[in-house]
Amino acid sequence: MERREWLKMAGLAAFAPLGASCRSAGGSKLAKVNVSPERVIRTTVGLRPFRPAGFRVEKETIEGKTVVHNYGHGGGGMSLSWGSSYLAVEQALPTGATRFAIIGCGVMGLSTARLLQKHGMDVTIYSKDIPPNTTSNMSAAWWSPGSTVDPSERTEAYDKQFVRAARFAHRYYQNYVGLEYGVRWRPRYNVSEDPPEPGGHDLIADLFPEGRDLEPGEHPFPWPYVHRDWTMLIEPPTYLRALLRDYRIAGGNIVLRTFDNLDEVLALDEPVIMNCSGLGARDLFGDETLTPIKGQLTVLLPQPELDYIMVGGGLYMIPRRDGVVLGTTHERGEWSLEPSRTEMHRVMEGHTEFWSQMAST
């Protein structure tokens, strides 16, 4: 979509650019986001593979072929990738197989592949697309495994699976911190106009260091309730490109192809199939509980001075090197990959109002 067309349809041309900086009570400067329609460089759409019962890591035998499922992570796929893949590999290794097929080349497929390679296995990835053309490339992304289960279907067994995956992933991601993989620690500010409700990441609260509530005089944000902690910011273009490189250097094969039905999957030569197909599992493996949650991001020109994450009030801001990412949208059951004009306008308007009210120095 051309910027001029977007400006016209969104009705945002009259919004004034926002800039400047502000300072917390402790003296650390927090730069403002420069929100302006003229700074929009792209809008992206991805479909999160949501499963109400939570992500599935399970081994089964189908017509004599071993299949290990690893899909349905909703909005937590990037965060949980190493941990969920670890659980999947944990189930796959006892088969005694040395050759593995992986369906899907997003973050889940690549993570599973790399863990198998570290065990000396021969791995082939079968996928329609590879980075940068995967759903994982559309992720925001920072380490915060949310929107993975419907609260009404959450069970004790799921919580145990989630915690194991989250803790492994959090520790393993730290091996990739640095410019080469595009992973870095950043402070995160969770802001709210109302007192936050209990829940969220209570099971893994200790994985967000230095977490504490800030008093009104300790932050420059326009909303009174602010919680600050630290987490890892992940840059999908850099990170996925590096994982794909590592996989190939380690001897991994990639076959670009599609599968029209389960029979074609089961016809693969490898004795064990790792199903990392995301939403594709709905048709290939008949999981009709899978549903898309459409997510849309508006990306502004980079601002190197931004060094923190902001989340709250249906908005978030992620300062990546390839652009300042603004969100968020959650359109459950929506399969369209076309940008929504209504949601685009809501996000830009919300960010314009928020940052215009932020205290300046």
Mean pLDDT of 70-83: 97
SS3 65: strand
Mean pLDDT, residues 223-251: 98
C-beta separation of 358 from 22 below 8 A: yes
114: in domain: yes
Clarify whether residues 83 and 141 are in a common domain: yes
Whole-number pLDDT of residue 36? 94
Do residue 35 and residue 159 come from a single domain? Answer: no
* Greater pLDDT, 328 or 263: 263
CATH number, domain of 263, equals: 3.40.50.720
269 with 297, same domain: the answer is no
CA 295 to chain centre: 10
CA separation for the pair 276, 68 (Å, rounded): 9
Of 105, 98, 73, 50, nearest in space to 243 by CA: 105
Q: Does any domain span residue 209?
A: no
Give tens-digit pLDDT for 297-324. 999 999 999 999 999 989 999 999 999 9
Does residue 182 lie within any of the structural domains? no
> 123 lies in a domain?
yes
The answer on 132 and 93 residing in a single domain is yes
* For range 241-262, the mean pLDDT: 98
**57 and 28 in a common domain:** no
Q: What is the pLDDT of residue 182?
A: 98
User: pTM of the predicted model, to two decimals?
Assistant: 0.91
**pLDDT of 28:** 58
**pLDDT score for 5:** 47
pLDDT of residue 202: 83
- Domain span at residue 348? 3-49+214-229+293-356
Residue 7: what pLDDT? Answer: 43
Confidence category of residue 10, pLDDT binned at 50, 70, 90: very low
Q: Which of 261, 289, 317 is the last residue of a domain?
A: 289
Looking at the fold, whether 297 and 252 belong to one and the same domain comes out as no
* Residue 93 pLDDT level (bands cut at 50, 70, 90): very high
Do both 58 and 105 map to the same domain?
yes
Helix (H, G, I), strand (E, B) or coil at 149: coil
Residues 205-231 pLDDT 10s: 999 999 999 998 899 999 999 999 999
Contact at 8 Å (CB) between 81 and 99? no
The count of structural domains within the chain is 2
* Residue 357 CB partners (closer than 8 Å, separation 6+): 222
Give pLDDT, residue 200. 57
pLDDT at residue 199 in the model = 59
The answer on pLDDT for 44 being more than 60 is yes
Whether 197 maps to a domain, the answer reads no
Rounded Cα distance between 114 and 189, Å, is 33
Domain annotation covers residue 186: no
> Quick one: average pLDDT of 149-173?
96
Which string of DSSP letters, residue by residue, matches 250-317?
TT-EEEE---SSHHHHHTSSSSEEEE--GGGHHHHS--TT-EEEEEEEEEEPP-TT---EEEETTEEE
> Residue 177 has what DSSP assignment?
B
Same domain, 18 and 124: no
Q: What is the pLDDT of residue 360?
A: 66
Residue 119 predicted with pLDDT over 50 = yes
pLDDT at 179 over 60: yes
Output the six-digit token pair for 210.
Answer: 């230095």
Across the chain, mean pLDDT equals 92
For the beta carbon of residue 349, count every other beta carbon within 10 angstroms. 15
Radius of gyration of the chain (CA): 21
What secondary structure does DSSP assign to 39-50, as a single string?
A: GEEEEEEEEEEE
Cβ–Cβ under 8 Å, residues 191 and 310: yes
Whether residue 25 is contained in a domain is answered as yes
Q: Are residues 116 and 23 in the same domain?
A: no
The Cβ of residue 264 has, within 10 Å, a number of other Cβ atoms equal to 13
- In this structure, the answer to whether residues 164 and 304 fall within a common structural domain is no
Which candidate, 320, 328, 347, places its Cα nearest to that of 236? 320
Quick check: 15 pLDDT over 60? no
Q: What percent of the chain has pLDDT over 90?
A: 86
Same domain, 16 and 100: no
- Is 250 in the same domain as 123? yes
Single out the residue of 309, 311, 319, 278 nearest to residue 51, CA to CA.
278
CA distance 325 to 320: 7
Say how many C-beta atoms besides its own lie within 10 A of residue 216's C-beta. Answer: 11
* 208 part of a folded domain: no
